[in-house]
Amino acid sequence: MSDAQKFIDANLGRFRQELYEFLRIPSISAKSEHDGDMRSAANWFRDRLQAAGLEAEVRDTPGHPVVLGRWNGAGDDAPTVLIYGHYDVQPPEPLDEWVSPPFEPTERDGRVYARGSADDKGQLYMHVKALEAHLATAGSLPINVIVLAEGEEEVGSENLVPFVKQHVDELACDYVIISDSNMFAENMPSVLFSLRGLAYLEIHVKGARSDLHSGQFGGTVVNPGNVLGKIIASLHDESGRVAVEGFYEDVLAWDEETRERIRSLPFSPDEYRRELEVDALGGEAGFDVLERLWIRPTCDVNGILCGYTGEGAKTVLPNKAMAKVSFRLVPDQTPARVAALVRAHVAKVAPSGVTIEVVELHGGRPWRTNVEGKLVDAASAALEAAFGTPAVLQGEGGSIPIVVDFEEQLGASALLVGFGLPGCNLHAPNEWFALDAFEKGIGALAGLYENLGA
């Protein structure tokens, strides 16, 4: 066992307590009333980087700050690795569905429950502890390291891309490592071969000059709520495909090797279904569940608001309706083109008597990587050593838009190696992170740095 690993084993209890301090800060980037918490979280993270032995500072952006850490002592021959993560979290609502409070980390059944535990504070902090393990035992790292933690991942990373562009020299690196994803299953570590992209839209339907009485006017006025239903319904056909003209034109037909690799993974659709407590799964005909998740695009309603939604019967004919609708994208789709196609589609579907506005809230390009080469090899070996089982290659249904920007701006290859688990309630009530994955994962990351420096 390496000295770094021994140090990790000896300090796990402290690592956990430090993480829980981090999780107690409600750093919700979407809500301006938490701006102070965002600053506190950034400062807290900077202090922990410094305590681990890195130079670190909080850097302002037009939005929430970026935390930047650096250790340059491995010399010019050693590779430079940029470790990216985010210290902001999703809003915790609906609050009444949390078993324990979202910002009071609570251990139950080998897990810690808290907003941000898996996404992404827990995973980001593992890197800090893996770096500390090397620095505390060897006094040095096998690689040069830049740590970049942003506070706007959950709201679209709007200021991060300009930040990276403005600091291309300062952020120059060979590899970008990101831990903001899941393992394939418990004790089945994985490396990602792809990420889906995202086109997140808001559709507004506006009708008459004001809300109207549904009796006095009903039957003569185009109802924005009914139109919105029609628009939403028109987005899919009966086979579960997205029915927007041109939508599949840019969708890559993946190679048979990748599809075979997906199909060979141990996965039970029935168990997945039962865990979700539904009587049937949904999705696009002609593809398996994991294919639907990783290599096929989607269209999902994220929210709808129209008219009177309180208690009882208000006989109002509403004059506006709004839906948040997002599309997960796969190579080679782009959010801009999908938004344009949806805009054209909605214009065709909507009747006269209402006006339509489609607002682009957020977008991110899909990503895929070359699974052969030093980067994936180094990760696979480190994961296998730490978890005692071979790592698998998997896709990821979620989006980390910054990955494509990192690769383009910095000319570096990205490695996505994550330690969440399926069902860990990302973006939902009762988010959790497995303590076993937290602990083994720190060792795996320490090993990964070694392998990359070798």
Of the pair 10, 30, the CB lying nearest its own copies is at 30
Candidate segments 128-136, 162-170, 186-194, 299-307, binder of its own copies by CB under 8 A: 299-307
| Distance between first and last Cα of the chain | 17
- With binding defined as CB under 8 A, does residue 243 bind its own copies? no
Residues sharing a CB contact under 8 Å with residue 103, sequence separation 6 or more, in sequence order: 23, 24, 25, 26, 92, 114, 115
Which residues ranging from 408 to 447 are in contact with its own copies (CB under 8 A)?
A: 422, 425-430
The binder of its own copies chosen from 196, 261, 343, 440 (CB under 8 A)? 196
**Spatial distance between the Cα atoms of 434 and 68, rounded to a whole number of angstroms:** 27
Name which position in 63, 65, 122, 318 contacts its own copies (CB under 8 A).
318
Q: Is 215 in the site for its own copies (CB under 8 A)?
A: yes
Q: Is 361 in the site for its own copies (CB under 8 A)?
A: yes
3-state secondary structure of 285: coil
162 binds its own copies (CB under 8 A): no
Q: Binding to its own copies by residue 198, rule CB under 8 A?
A: yes
Which among 361, 355, 359 has a CA at the least distance from the CA of 319? 355
As given in the structure block, the two tokens for residue 189 are 């570590």
Stretch that binds its own copies, among 17-25, 225-233, 244-252, 374-382 (CB under 8 A): 225-233
Q: Please report, for residues 124, 153, 308, the alpha-carbon distance to residue 399 in angstroms, rounded to integers and kept in the order given.
A: 17, 10, 34
Which two tokens mark 198?
A: 């995202």
Nearest distance in Å: CB 121, its own copies:
16
CB of 296 to its own copies, least distance (A): 6
Name residues contacting its own copies, limited to 266-285 (CB under 8 A).
272, 275-284
Answer for which of 211, 250, 384, 436 binds its own copies (CB under 8 A) is 211
Q: How many residues bind its own copies (CB under 8 A)?
A: 101
Query: Least distance from C-beta 230 to its own copies, angstroms?
Result: 4
Least Cβ distance, residue 431 to its own copies (angstroms):
9
Q: Judged by CB under 8 A, does residue 92 bind its own copies?
A: no
Instruction: Establish if 289 lies at the interface with its own copies (CB under 8 A).
Output: yes
Q: Which of 61, 214, 334, 409 binds its own copies (CB under 8 A)?
A: 214
In terms of DSSP H, where are the helices of 108-264? 121-138, 160-166, 214-217, 224-234, 256-263
Which span (55-63, 101-109, 183-191, 192-200) binds its own copies, by CB under 8 A? 192-200
Beta strands at 175-178 and 413-416: parallel, antiparallel or unpaired: parallel
Q: Are 444 and 385 in contact (CB under 8 A)?
A: yes
- How far is it, in rounded angstroms, from Cα 435 to Cα 441? 10
User: Residue 10 or residue 285: which is nearer to its own copies going by CB?
Assistant: 285
213 lines the binding site for its own copies (CB under 8 A): yes
Given the complex with its own copies, which of 108 and 213 has the nearer CB atom? Answer: 213
360: which residues sit within 8 A by CB, 6+ positions away?
199, 200, 201, 335, 339
CB neighbours of residue 274 within 10 Å? 11
Which amino acid is located at 265 in the chain?
Answer: L
Residue that the structure tokens 């670190």 belong to: 56
Collapsing DSSP states into helix, strand and coil, what is residue 94? coil
- Of the two residues 15 and 98, which places its CB atom closer to its own copies in the complex? 98
- Whose structure tokens read 């987005």? 235
Binding track over 95-124 against its own copies, x by CB under 8 A: --x---------------------------
Distance between CA atoms of residues 66 and 79, nearest Å: 23
Binds its own copies by CB under 8 A, chosen from 86, 362, 365, 368: 362
